[in-house]
Amino acid sequence: MQNDTHHQNITMRGFLKFSELLLLLQRPTIPPSMKRALPLVGLALFLASCVDTAGILPMSSKTPRGNPQSVVTVTEYADFECPACGAAHATIVKPLLEKYGSQVRFDFRHFPLRSIHRYTMDLAEAAECAADQGKFWEYVDAAFEKQQDLKKGSAQLWGEELVSDKDMFSRCIRSHIKQDAIIAEYDAGVAAGVQGTPTFMVNDGQVAASAEDISAAIDALLKGATQRL
User: For residues 83 and 68, what is the distance between their CA atoms, to the nearest angstrom?
Assistant: 28
Q: Is the pLDDT of residue 131 over 50?
A: yes
Q: Provide the pLDDT confidence category of residue 67 given band limits of 50, 70 and 90.
A: very high
Kindly report the average pLDDT of the chain as a whole number: 86
Q: What percent of the chain has pLDDT over 90?
A: 72
Q: Provide the pLDDT confidence category of residue 224 given band limits of 50, 70 and 90.
A: confident
Q: What is the pLDDT of residues 190-223, one digit of tens each?
A: 999 999 999 999 998 999 999 999 999 999 999 9
Sort 92 into a burial class: Cβ within 10 Å, 0-12 / 13-18 / 19+. buried
Q: How many CB atoms lie within 10 A of CB 30?
A: 12
The DSSP code sequence of 36-86 is HHHHHHHHHHHHHHTS--TT--SS-----EE-TT-S-EEEEEE-TT-HHHH
Q: Provide the pLDDT confidence category of residue 226 given band limits of 50, 70 and 90.
A: confident
Q: What is the pLDDT of residues 132-141, one digit of tens each?
A: 999 999 999 9
Question: So what's the pLDDT on residue 49?
Answer: 54
Q: What is the pLDDT of residues 158-202, one digit of tens each?
A: 999 999 999 999 999 999 999 999 999 999 999 999 999 999 999
pTM of the predicted protein model: 0.79
Q: What is the pLDDT of residues 2-39, one digit of tens each?
A: 344 444 444 444 554 555 555 655 666 666 765 565 55
Point out which residues pair with 78 in neighbouring strands: 110
